[in-house]
């Protein structure tokens, strides 16, 4: 029990420490870029998403999609007439559904539950996201500028809950979810000019994860349970419609 409590406390402390560090670093980078460039464009964006979790082992399967939304601040730093460095700070509300073919242990904040085969585990996740990318743009045609956008999203988990039928109801699952995630994004869209540099933004994006978002300490797997929890890798993917206004 002492080892379990100590492990959880250490994980929580590290999660908070790195979250604060990431926020502080992001704010410093943003304000540094502002101070060195008067041409930086800022925008408020929101993106409804269709999310799904993709496992890589036979004993674990994805069970449908989960709707979510991310929102926050974006900025573009021009690099010539037809390209820009793009970043920002976003809050991403995401998740997905999975089910195991074996009985597995599943940990909440203060309990370990026995989840039966084919019971759907619904993950409700929230990440602080720092996108870093390159936006390629056409010249303005009429009032419209077309763009393509590629890059990566660095994420830190700031909230994680799960629902499993009548067994678990929106309980915190910090120990079941990794602190960090990363994915790449590919998108395209348009900016519709309103006046000066102000424009409406509309884009369609695909985000593909490449880090395992789930985790479980091996020491906490009770004897007699399947070891699929140790071996699995689950990535998080989504398709998002980005809507916003750039200034």
* Cα–Cα distance, 91 to 161 (Å, whole number): 16
Strand pairing of 66-78 and 41-55? antiparallel
- Please report which confidence band the pLDDT of residue 5 belongs to, taking 50, 70 and 90 as the band edges: very low
CATH (residue range 2-246): 2.40.160.20
From 45-59, 131-145, 227-241, the region with the lowest mean pLDDT: 227-241
* Cα–Cα distance, 150 to 122 (Å, whole number): 30
- The structure's pTM equals 0.85
Q: Give the percent of the chain with pLDDT over 90.
A: 63
Q: Which of 210, 48, 244, 26 is nearest to 135 (CA)?
A: 244
Sort residue 142 into left (φ over 0), alpha (ψ -120 to 50) or beta. Answer: left
pLDDT tens-digit map of 178-212: 999 999 999 999 999 999 889 999 999 999 999 99
- Extents of the domains making up the chain: 2-246
């Amino acid at each position: 029990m002492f080892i379990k409590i100590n492990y959880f406390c250490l994980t929580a402390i590290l999660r908070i420490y790195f979250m604060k560090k990431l926020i502080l670093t992001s704010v410093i980078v943003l304000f540094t870029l502002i101070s060195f460039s008067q041409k930086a464009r800022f925008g408020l964006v929101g993106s409804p998403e269709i999310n799904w979790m993709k496992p890589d082992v036979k004993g674990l399967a994805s069970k449908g999609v989960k709707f979510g939304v991310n929102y926050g601040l974006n900025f573009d730093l021009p690099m010539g007439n037809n390209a820009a460095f793009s970043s920002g700070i976003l809050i991403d509300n995401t998740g997905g559904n999975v089910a195991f073919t074996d009985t597995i242990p599943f940990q909440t904040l203060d309990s370990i539950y026995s989840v039966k085969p084919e019971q759907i585990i619904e993950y409700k996740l929230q990440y602080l996201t720092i996108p870093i990318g390159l936006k390629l743009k056409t010249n303005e045609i009429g009032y419209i500028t077309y763009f393509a956008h590629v890059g990566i999203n660095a994420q830190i988990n700031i909230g994680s809950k799960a629902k499993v039928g009548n067994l678990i109801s929106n309980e915190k699952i910090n120990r079941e979810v990794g602190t960090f995630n990363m994915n790449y994004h590919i998108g395209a869209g348009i900016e519709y000019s309103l006046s000066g540099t102000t424009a409406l933004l509309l884009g369609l994006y695909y985000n593909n994860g490449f880090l395992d978002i789930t985790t479980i300490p091996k020491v906490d797997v009770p004897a007699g349970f399947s070891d699929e929890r140790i071996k699995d890798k689950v990535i998080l993917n989504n398709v998002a419609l980005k809507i916003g206004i750039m200034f």
